Structure 1
Amino acid sequence: MMGGNMQSLMRQAQKMQKQMKVDQEKLNAQTFTGKAPDDLVTATFTGEHKMTDLVVNPAAIDPDDPDMLADMVLAAVNDAMSQIDEATQATMGKYSRGMGL
């Protein structure tokens, strides 16, 4: 009797593994755009945390205050990273919850 249950469990695990891969691929294909205050800087990333675009509004460029621009780039990047983390948790979190991790 035990063998049948084990086979069933293995099939369920394989099915879940396939679904995880599909969900991860969908997440990786999404784009996330982080924005600094007033949209002076926007940074676009894939779900794999790869930057694909960075747009700096000329109004953000003050030659006398380069730190301000750096802060805006950081804000935009961190905003995008937060979005990716939230989407990853929403998409992939169900798998770790099901395993008691």
Structure 2
Amino acid sequence: MPGVGKLLKQAQKMQKLMEEAQAKLSEEILEVSGGGGAVSIKITGQGEFKDLKLDPEFLKEDPEFVSEAILQAVVDAAEQAKKKGDDAMGSLTGGVQMPGFF
């Protein structure tokens, strides 16, 4: 069955492209801010948090407000990283969801 060999080669090529895309995503740093710029987060395209900075003046605010702003910034950063990853993988798979690949 010559079609199976061709299919296997295509799958191997796709796997290599996906690994390269994931490596690129792991190096790409997204910077997300929240709380009017008082919260700054750096996250990779694969969703690995790299840095969190808080404006010292911001910490003097109401603790509940500070907590909510930090949480929202973290959620926004995670969503942006997921979208970046989904976009990168989607461009390789033509939008077809492939379980286990990101």
Instruction: Report TM bin, short chain.
Output: 0.7 to 0.9
Q: Percent identity?
A: 29
Matches within 5 A, 1:1-101: 3-62=1-60, 65-94=62-91, 95=93, 97-98=95-96
SS at 1:53 equivalent: strand
How far apart, in 2, do the equivalents of 1:47 and 1:78 lie? 14
How far apart, in 1, do the equivalents of 2:48 and 2:97 lie? 29
SS at 2:95 equivalent: helix
In structure 2, the gaps of 5 or more residues are: none
- CA-CA distance at 1:91 after TM superposition: 0.4
In structure 1, the gaps of 5 or more residues are: none
Question: Which structure 1 residue ranges, 4+ long, deviate > 4 Å from structure 2?
Answer: 98-101
Rg larger in structure: 1
- TM-score, with length taken from structure 2: 0.82
The alignment yields a C-alpha RMSD, in angstroms, of: 2.1
How far apart, in 2, do the equivalents of 1:99 and 1:5 lie? 23
- TM-score, with length taken from structure 1: 0.83
Report how many aligned residue pairs link the two structures.
98
- CA-CA distance at 1:99 after TM superposition: 6.8
